Amino acid sequence: MTASHSNPATDTPTAGVARGGEPQPPTDWTPDLTPRGGGGTLARLVQFFSSLRLTVVCLALALVVVFVGTLAQVEIGLYAAQMKYFRSLFVYWQVPGTPMRIPVMPGGYLVGGVLLINLICAHARRFGFRRDKLGLLLVHVGLILLLLGQLATDLLSVESAMRLTEGQSKSYSEDQRHSELAILETTAADANQVVTIPESVLARKQELRLPQLPFTIKLHAYWPNSTSVPPAAVTGPSLATQGLGVRTQFRQAPLETRMDRRNVPTAYVELMTPTGSLGTWAASLWFDPPQPVSYEGRTFELALRPVRYYRPVSLELMKFSHDKYMGTEIPKNFSSRVRLRQPETGENREVLIYMNNPLRYGGETFYQSGYDERDPRVTILQVVRNPSWLTPYFSCTLVGVGLGVQFLTHLVGFVKRKRA
Amino acid sequence: MLWTFAGKSNATRGALGALLLTLLLTSCDRGKIQSYQAPKDPAAPPAQGAAAAGMTAPAQIRWDVPSGWQELPATQMRVGSFTVTGENDQKAQVTVIPLAGQAGGDFENVNRWRTQVGQPRFTEAEMEKAAEPVETGAGRAQMYDFAGVPLEEERPTRLLAAILHREGTAWFFKMVGDDLLVAGQKAAFVEFLKSVRFEAVASVAASGGASPGEDPAAAAQAAASTAATPAPWSVPAGWQPTAAGTMQAAKWIIGGGGGGSEQGQAEATVVMLPGDAGGRLANINRWRGQVGLGPVAEEELGGLLMPLRVGGPESYAVDLVSPETQRRMLAAAVATSGQTWFFKLVGDAAVVGREKEAFTKLVASFNHP
């Protein structure tokens, strides 16, 4: 992209000069489209989006965003820096002591998006689909695919973790960053009916009337990160009137920014029925077991837990091996022998997952990710679903082929001219 | 010239198409309420220690107290507290504190300790380097040894601290005091750590584990504290002792003469918890719920409380009865130094009424340690 745009002397001969006997279209970098009739504003818009200056500005801004975002990782961690600088339209500065946020520079999505539009417009206006520009076309398509693929990865990929103890079988993995309020009701001997409410809905603190539940959920508080209040520091009654939160109180805590730590959210939810309130519960990631709620002879369970991703296949950990170098605590190798069961297809087989040898199944990849220092029978598998994982390969192939074609086109033309 | 469609209209289409695609992709929203059927969670295999010992019941923490350490009463947060005295009036304190979950994380706790002795914060790598693993009877703990001169103090202070993670609870063992004394006590502290273990309690083993409403840290605190305390009360005649639950120091079943049916029975329990265990209002409202009564407000408490001549001024008692469920509860909270002992008699209203005098005598006989 940069090569083709930054070398106008090569790719944009003076308008009207014939090359190889064919008339060339005018391909000035900043043509005035207005005289071609109608739509002056639109034409100016197109002109703006296809200008080389915009490309240069975007690339310069991308450099700045990458530089500042990389430095910011030192202070706020990788994940937070990615969200603030790269996965955003604007980078905001919060005025100290106020909730006011002022945009101070464009974010990665804005720069990438404008660059994408710029690339498409510039190519469509200047080169079109000409045979002698096939190489450039392929290069540009490859770059566009790379940008779109990265955007798709950002938006569509899901990463989670599956923690298994030897002998345990699971058909779900858990998100390591996001939580959900889950209300479960046992509807069969081996199954629960589950209603899950994501953090984004909890944060709105609205009353939720859901057809699946006989009560209304009223959010009194939602703290994305919380810490427990030591008994000695408790100054008043708990917001909770039922469940574990009556005895254990929480307070809001600053959001975690480090990659190796997670936020521990707490929500205070009141369950309202037509006949009155059932009480207020503290649902928190600090609590492990779900809390029982009884109403009209039905028993529900309430839990704030990591977001779960269920799948039709289950994995049972048969054996976890964790070898260390003799006499040290340095991991040498760790591997998980799991049994994969897919009831729908009857598939039932053993799989060995170890470092650099993940299990790929159903569009997901299960990597050997970690272990529990406190329990040698526990494995931690990272589960990644990335529908666009092939796009970088296609992109690079297209760019490579495009560069080759462009080089050969020039070479052949040069040889022909020399022979003539 | 082939495939040429360069021009304003195509460029415009391209720009609009790209813009639309960008907006479409960025407008995806995964945050939706969902409803689905899911298999029940499989039971996690028991923790290794318990599995090896063949235990299913929760266990109590135990330790061997090194010679020269003087045991102090447990407080709201401390399930173990000791003082050590050395030469020239040197002093050190040892505490054992359990907290649910990660308790803020090891990294922050370690750095808080460093700040306490006037040392700069560690990086993760430095923390890992400084950790000294100690094999306790309940798993591996990480011990740290920091010394320095805290702000606004002149004497060098040393801090030995160890973190043990066990079944969702972080146990903090800490010795802090005069540098030379603590340095000299390091071997004793390590031995103390090595002696830490969790043992099943005979009376608990038959009870089938913790009730779903109890949090592990509080259960551990209660269990640890009750383990060292005898039962100083007189059991009324006719009360049949039975296996106590996780947090209960004692439990009795009182038959109502109705053929042993649940309707004609009551049960009495004694539970000790550190501090005020959540406060009067929360406790009374929980009890009210247990007999089928609705919660009351703080200002309504005055009319419910009954005087109690046992324990400190914070002690209280209530008599709760629900005409609808015909369940009644007599509850007495006896506040002692840093602890509250809860005596409860709950069950069929008629049986509880009949046993009220016996229950009153039980509470009156309580001679708290």
Residue B312, token pair as written in the block: 């400190």
Write down the pLDDT at residue A289.
Answer: 72
Amino acid in the structure at residue A42: L
Cross-chain Cβ contact A244/B215 below 8 Å? yes
Residue A382, token pair as written in the block: 């990272």
Residue B357, token pair as written in the block: 């005098």
Confidence band for B305, pLDDT divided at 50, 70 and 90: confident
Chain A residues whose CB is inside 8 A of the B214 CB are 244
- The rounded distance, in Å, linking the Cα atoms of A372 and A322 is 10
Sign of CA dihedral B45, B48, B50, B52: positive
- Best to test chain A binding among B34, B135, B167, B280 (most A CBs inside 10 Å): B34
State mean pLDDT over B181-200: 87
In this prediction, what percent of chain B has a pLDDT beyond 90?
11
Chain B residues whose CB is inside 8 A of the A197 CB are 33
How does DSSP classify residue B275? T
Confidence band for B91, pLDDT divided at 50, 70 and 90: confident
Chain B residues whose CB is inside 8 A of the A286 CB are 100-101
Segments of chain A with pLDDT less than 70:
1-39, 128, 230-232, 258-261, 328-329, 373-374
Cross-chain Cβ contact A192/B4 below 8 Å? no
- The rounded distance, in Å, linking the Cα atoms of A234 and B279 is 10
Q: Which of B10, B99, B168 shows the shortest C-beta gap to A288?
A: B168
Residue with the bigger pLDDT between A363 and B229: it is A363
Chain B: residue whose CA lies nearest to A225: B104
The alpha-carbon gap from A400 to the nearest alpha carbon of chain B, in Å, equals 22
Write down the pLDDT at residue A73.
Answer: 86
The alpha-carbon gap from A208 to the nearest alpha carbon of chain B, in Å, equals 10
Residue A257's Cα: distance from chain center in Å?
16
Strand partners, B367: none
**Residue A383, H or E segment:** strand A375-385
CB B117 within 8 A of CB B157: yes
Confidence check: pLDDT of B11 > 60: no
In DSSP notation, A57-97 reads: HHHHHHHHHHHHHHHHHHHH-HHHHIIIIISSSEEEEEPTT
- The rounded distance, in Å, linking the Cα atoms of A180 and A201 is 9
Which segments of chain B are extended strands (E)?
34-39, 59-62, 69-71, 80-85, 91-100, 132-136, 139-148, 157-166, 169-178, 197-200, 240-241, 248-255, 265-274, 316-322, 327-336, 339-348
Q: Which of B12, B40, B44 shows the shortest C-beta gap to A190?
A: B40
How does DSSP classify residue A357? B
The full set of domains in chain B, from first to last, is: 52-200 (2.60.120.1690), 229-364 (2.60.120)
Residue A18: Cβ-neighbour burial (10 angstroms; 0-12, 13-18, 19+): exposed
Cross-chain Cβ contact A117/B19 below 8 Å? yes
Q: In a 3-state reduction of DSSP, which class is residue A249?
A: coil
Confidence check: pLDDT of B314 > 70: yes
Residue with the bigger pLDDT between B259 and A182: it is A182
- The radius of gyration of chain A's CA atoms, rounded to the nearest angstrom, is 29
The alpha-carbon gap from A200 to the nearest alpha carbon of chain B, in Å, equals 6
Cross-chain Cβ contact A151/B25 below 8 Å? yes
- Best to test chain A binding among B9, B13, B20, B33 (most A CBs inside 10 Å): B33
The alpha-carbon gap from B324 to the nearest alpha carbon of chain A, in Å, equals 16
Residue A364, token pair as written in the block: 């997901």
CB B288 within 8 A of CB B344: no
- The rounded distance, in Å, linking the Cα atoms of A208 and A218 is 6
Chain A residues whose CB is inside 8 A of the B134 CB are none
Cross-chain Cβ contact A186/B140 below 8 Å? no
Cross-chain Cβ contact B101/A228 below 8 Å? yes
Cross-chain Cβ contact B212/A291 below 8 Å? yes
Residue B252: Cβ-neighbour burial (10 angstroms; 0-12, 13-18, 19+): buried
- The rounded distance, in Å, linking the Cα atoms of A175 and A158 is 8
Q: Using the structure block, give the residue that is written with the tokens 């009209």.
A: A296
Pick from B260-264, B320-324, B328-332, B344-348: least confident: B260-264
Chain B residues whose CB is inside 8 A of the A155 CB are 25-26, 28
For Cα atoms A34, A35, A38, give the angle at the middle one, nearest 5 degrees. Answer: 65
Residue with the bigger pLDDT between B366 and B192: it is B192
Rounded to the nearest 10 degrees, how much is the dihedral formed by the CA atoms of B267, B270, B274, B277? 30
CB B85 within 8 A of CB B91: yes
Enumerate residues 6+ apart whose C-beta is below 8 A from B43: none
Write down the pLDDT at residue A37.
Answer: 44
Residue A162: Cβ-neighbour burial (10 angstroms; 0-12, 13-18, 19+): buried
State mean pLDDT over B188-216: 56
Cross-chain Cβ contact B101/A241 below 8 Å? no
Q: How much is the ipTM here?
A: 0.71
Amino acid in the structure at residue A108: G
Q: Contacts from A8-11 at CB under 8 Å and sequence distance 24+? A: A8/A52, A11/A126, A11/A127, A11/A133, A11/A136
Chain B: residue whose CA lies nearest to A132: B1
Q: What phi and psi, each to the nearest 5 degrees, are found at residue A321?
A: -110, 130
The pTM of the whole model exceeds 0.80: no
Residue B29: Cβ-neighbour burial (10 angstroms; 0-12, 13-18, 19+): exposed
- Best to test chain A binding among B36, B109, B169 (most A CBs inside 10 Å): B36
Give the domain ranges of chain A. 2-156+389-419, 160-169+310-385, 177-309
Cross-chain Cβ contact B25/A242 below 8 Å? no
The alpha-carbon gap from B21 to the nearest alpha carbon of chain A, in Å, equals 9
Angstrom CA distances, A401 to A35, A135, A139, A325, A394, stand at: 38, 7, 8, 46, 10
Q: In a 3-state reduction of DSSP, which class is residue A173?
A: strand
CB A375 within 8 A of CB A317: no
